[in-house]
Amino acid sequence: MFHQLYILLAFFYTIVNCIAVSDSPGDFSQVLVLHDLKLNDFGGEGSSSVLEQLSSFDLKLATYDSNFTLFYEDQPRYDHLILFPSSKKALGLSQQDLMRFIEVGGNLVVVGVSSSVVADSVRVFLNELGIYPSPKNFELIDHFNTVDGEVELTEKNLVNNKIITSLNAKYHGAAALVSNNDLIFPIIRGSPTSFTANPQQGPVAEDTTWTFGEQGFLAVGLQTLSNSRVSWVGSESLLVEELFNWTFQRTGVLKLQFVQHYKNEEPTKINPTLYRIKDQAIYTVGVSELVDGKWVPFEAKTEDDQLQLSFKMLDPYQRLNLQPLGPVASNEDSDVLDTFAYYTNFTIPDHHGMFTFELDYKRVGVSFLEDKRVVTVRHLANDEYKRSWDITNAWVYMASAALVVLAWLLFVVNYIYVGSVNVAKKNV
């Protein structure tokens, strides 16, 4: 307890070094909605309720046949993009445009449907990510959970409840297979009794079925290493506000407010570039989460959510779970406790060279956090080694040397004075 209090006091004493991220959350509200008038006439009386869930965004509606532009002078004109189904295979949007859009930080929602084709550029884009939607006229079928021709979905179909917390919908749409891409995670899956096939092709067979059981996914999410997000859903019925908020980065957004390390005996010298072997190092980070447009402390409540530090050269010499310190202010001049501090205390390994303090936090449903700090670890200087009398094991050898010297002195004294020869008797 005393040790944690010491670290906390040292933490408040130091100057907080924030990473290069905007101090305010911001509101990325510009959304381009592309649709086909034959399939989605948002201007008519049958306008989808989806637009009502996007009322807080700055929407721009455009058809695939219109002269829309996604980029202006190599920069995206919109922060988010929604692609509704199309009745044509060719669009005025290439696979390279979509890939480039997410590479520069854009977020994308792709809506599928079983009764129409997936445009070639969109299909190639999804396949490159590792998402494989079912072909035209293939739909999810589940004879055990069907009411009035539609599949009933419940919370049992949820895979990750960090994005969609509740589910009670009737589904009529497509399903997708996913690859083993680590950046992809399913959100909603089919039940064990479901499959994806074309009802018009007669009896179900292996070559006429796209998915079987829980391998068919109805909603899939992807988060790139740059924290851009992509969502695919097989029907408009799954377009809920929670999905939009996650994809458009209003929820599940984390930020490193500060990262600092220092020696235990020098708490005022933050982020030194030089350590000595066997030094005690303290590593501290502050993490915030975006909630309702404000940064609040992010607390890892489960073991799976723990943050971890790797102190590595080529391979980690130390891999440690960060321990919680509690809510703190990200700025020493502020009284607002907007971040949660974590720390760990460890001994620098007995190996000199170039080491890295590495925080690599990747969890499903939240932003990826990554930070690397390179430091030099040196060996002990000649005058920094322990003297002989400080080493307990050396006392035996030191005592032996002293006894040898003492024995030699006693021998000399004995030879000269004690053991002298009687000269008178010798000359007789």
- What does the pLDDT average to over 197-215? 83
| Strand 107-111 versus strand 80-83 pairing type | parallel
Q: Which single residue is written with the structure tokens 């079912």? A: 134
CA distance 142 to 159: 18
Written as six digits, the tokens of 98 are 């979509």
Distances (CA, A) of 342 to 216, 361, 365: 39, 13, 21
pLDDT of residue 6: 46
Contacts of 215 (CB under 8 A, 6+ apart): 177, 190
pLDDT of residue 329: 92
- What does the pLDDT average to over 270-277? 94
CA distance 296 to 328: 10
- What does the pLDDT average to over 80-85? 94
Q: H or E stretch including 52?
A: helix 50-53
DSSP 329-348: -SSTT-----EEEEEEEEEP
Written as six digits, the tokens of 125 are 């884009």
Contacts of 232 (CB under 8 A, 6+ apart): 109, 110, 112, 126, 131, 133, 176, 219, 220
Encode pLDDT of 298-355 as tens digits: 999 888 899 999 999 988 899 999 999 999 998 888 888 999 999 999 999 999 999 9
**Chain-centroid distance, C-alpha 90:** 36
Distances (CA, A) of 21 to 14, 254, 283, 392: 20, 11, 20, 52
Task: Enumerate the H helices of 185-306 as residue ranges.
Answer: 241-247
- What does the pLDDT average to over 43-67? 78
- What does the pLDDT average to over 360-379? 95
Q: How confident is the model at residue 227 (pLDDT cuts 50, 70, 90)?
A: very high
**Chain-centroid distance, C-alpha 206:** 38
Neighbours of 342 (CB within 10 A): 24
Distances (CA, A) of 225 to 136, 422, 426: 32, 98, 102
Q: Which class does domain 30-247 fall in?
A: alpha beta
Cβ 259 vs Cβ 276: under 8 Å: no
**Chain-centroid distance, C-alpha 177:** 24
Mean pLDDT of the residues in the chain? 86
Q: Which CATH superfamily is domain 2-20+253-383 in?
A: Macroglobulin (MG2) domain (2.60.40.1930)
Q: How confident is the model at residue 101 (pLDDT cuts 50, 70, 90)?
A: very high
Cβ 178 vs Cβ 130: under 8 Å: yes
CA distance 139 to 222: 23
pLDDT of residue 52: 83
The answer to which of 82-96, 122-136, 354-368 has the lowest mean pLDDT is: 82-96
- What does the pLDDT average to over 133-142? 91
Q: What percent of the chain has pLDDT over 90?
A: 59
Contacts of 379 (CB under 8 A, 6+ apart): 276, 277, 352
Q: How confident is the model at residue 18 (pLDDT cuts 50, 70, 90)?
A: very low
CA distance 82 to 286: 34
CA distance 197 to 135: 9
| Helix 95-103 and helix 120-129, axial crossing angle in degrees, nearest 10 | 50
Encode pLDDT of 107-118 as tens digits: 999 999 888 888
CA distance 170 to 156: 14
Q: Which single residue is written with the structure tokens 């032996």? A: 400
Cβ 234 vs Cβ 219: under 8 Å: yes
Sign of CA dihedral 173, 182, 228, 129: negative
Length of the chain: 428
Encode pLDDT of 150-182 as tens digits: 999 999 999 977 899 999 999 999 999 999 999
Cβ 344 vs Cβ 319: under 8 Å: no
| Strand 229-233 versus strand 107-111 pairing type | parallel
